[in-house]
Amino acid sequence: MKGFSRFLLLLLCALPPVSGQSLEEARQSAEADLQDALERYAEVQERIKEEKIPLAKELNDLKAELREKRREAQRAQRIKDNSSVDLNALEERVTKREEQLDYVANLVADFGERFERDLALPEQQLYEEEVAAFRKAADAPLVDEDLGKGLRLVDQIFILQTAIDRFEGLLGGQIFEGQAVVENGEVEGGQFLVLGPTEYFSSEASEAAGISLDAGMLPPVEPIGPEMDALIKGVIASGEGALPIDPTLGSALAIASQEDTLWEHIQKGGIWIWPILFFAFLATATALFKVFEIYSVKMPQPGVLHDILKELNEGNRDKAMELAKKVRGPARSMLVDAVEHSEESKELIEEVMYERMLEVQPRLERMLPFIAVTAATAPLMGLLGTVTGMINTFKLITIFGTGDAKQLSSGISEALVTTEFGLIVAIPSLIMHALLNRRAQGVMSNMERMAVAFVNGLTRKN
């Protein structure tokens, strides 16, 4: 109100000066206007008072509604936050379940592969359908990445029950039909008995029976004797009885079945084994002949030379000649010639006896060089066979690669067998040559010693 009055005064002061009558009129008019303004002001205040309570009430209602809306908004936000947290937790649980599913699926897959790998050859025929179904499930394409893994696991989980049933069967023995390769190489049908780690077979088409080995496409059957084979057939037929047990779990029988005869072993040596065997035969025959020839050489008794020298020194030349002719062996001719020339000088006697020694030496040492040549040549031919075998091996590697060792066995066998036989021939040949040569040198040394003793024992000189 005071502000309004000031405004009016200022307005009046700003008006141009007027006359006294006009000022009075203006004052009255201003008062009338002021009065009118005050009345309107009072009306406005009255109206404000009348409208203030409803507006305040409406304001309180709006504030209350605002608070309620805020509470609802906060509740909705909490619900939204809770929903987000639950969704994250659910996603985390789903992720963990997927990881567990993958882990279990990998375990089942590994177990199935190990189950198939651990099956013996006879059991592969028994569980052929189960293994095929497991492979089919493992190789089937996944229609849905998430759902497909679970369905695949359902299709593969049966292998666990199959393994449990197999284990129970192994504990008590399991008899089933199948095919095997019997001793004569024929494929025959019969019954297998799997008891623990050992497999037995009894043929229905023949009397063949024995222990089944894990080798080849079909299990070969190794017979272990008529009595044991009959015992196996009886147990398989009746389902009870005593069975022979192999403590090596088939390893000994497998090794025995892979052992070659001497002829089969020789054939693995390839073409170069035949020259080695030819030289071996000749060297052996030569060595036997030389053993008989050299070791049958008779050397005179020590007293014979003394008797001959005694008769010569006493002048009984005929008696000495008679004693010399009784001597056996290569020394006979040497002593006879020495007695014939006993009247000559010692130098001539030495020359005569040395000449006879030179005649004996070639006969003693003949054929010995051939044995030495065989001892030196056999390892070289074996080495040649080794090189040839390795060349064939590399050719096979070029064709088949290194994955299948059986394809490489022929070249490796040729490389090793020729070396083996080369050493087998060379070592005895070297030893026999050394022994025979030493024996021959011994005979020559005895003759030389006898010649020296003869010359030194003569007391008569011409």
253 occurs within a structural domain: no
- Whether 41 and 112 share a structural domain: yes
462 occurs within a structural domain: no
- Whether 415 and 304 share a structural domain: yes
CB atoms within 10 A of CB 422: 27
Q: How far apart are alpha carbons 267 and 413 in whole angstroms?
A: 10
- The reply to whether the predicted model has a pTM over 0.85 is no
Residues counted in the chain? 462
Q: What is the DSSP string of 243-294?
A: ----TTTTHHHHHHHHPPPHHHHHHTT-TTHHHHHHHHHHHHHHHHHHHHHH
Owning domain of residue 53:
37-166
217 occurs within a structural domain: yes
78 occurs within a structural domain: yes
In the predicted model, is pLDDT for residue 274 greater than 80?
yes
Q: Which of 29-43, 54-68, 114-128, 417-431 has the highest mean pLDDT?
A: 417-431
Q: How far apart are alpha carbons 30 and 27 in whole angstroms?
A: 5
Arithmetic mean of pLDDT over the chain? 76
- Whether 154 and 187 share a structural domain: no
pLDDT at 206: 81
First and final C-alpha spacing in the chain: 194
365 occurs within a structural domain: yes
Nearest 5°: the CA angle 425, 429, 433 is 175
Choosing from 166, 183, 208, the residue where a domain stops is: 166
- Whether 295 and 418 share a structural domain: yes
- Whether 162 and 190 share a structural domain: no
Look at the chain and report how many structural domains it folds into. Answer: 3
Contact 335, 324 (CB under 8 A): yes
- Whether 449 and 309 share a structural domain: yes
Q: What does the pLDDT average to over 330-357?
A: 79
- Whether 182 and 298 share a structural domain: no
More confident call, 392 vs 144: 392
Q: What does the pLDDT average to over 216-220?
A: 69
- Whether 129 and 179 share a structural domain: no
Q: Which of 8-17, 227-236, 424-433 has the highest mean pLDDT?
A: 424-433
- Whether 155 and 183 share a structural domain: no
Greatest Cα-to-Cα distance within the chain, rounded to the nearest angstrom: 219
262 occurs within a structural domain: no
Choosing from 111, 139, 166, the residue where a domain stops is: 166
Q: How confident is the model at residue 462 (pLDDT cuts 50, 70, 90)?
A: very low
pLDDT at 461: 46
Could you tell me how many helices (H) and strands (E) the chain has, helices first?
A: 16, 5
Q: What does the pLDDT average to over 229-252?
A: 72
- Whether 223 and 307 share a structural domain: no
31 occurs within a structural domain: no
Q: Burial letters for 263-277: b for 16+ Cβ neighbours within 10 Å, e otherwise?
A: eeeeebbbebbebbb
32-81 pLDDT, tens digit per residue, is 888 888 888 888 888 877 777 787 788 888 888 888 888 888 888 878 77
Choosing from 166, 198, 232, the residue where a domain stops is: 166
296 occurs within a structural domain: yes
Decide: helix, strand or coil at residue 200: strand
- Whether 184 and 281 share a structural domain: no
- Whether 192 and 322 share a structural domain: no
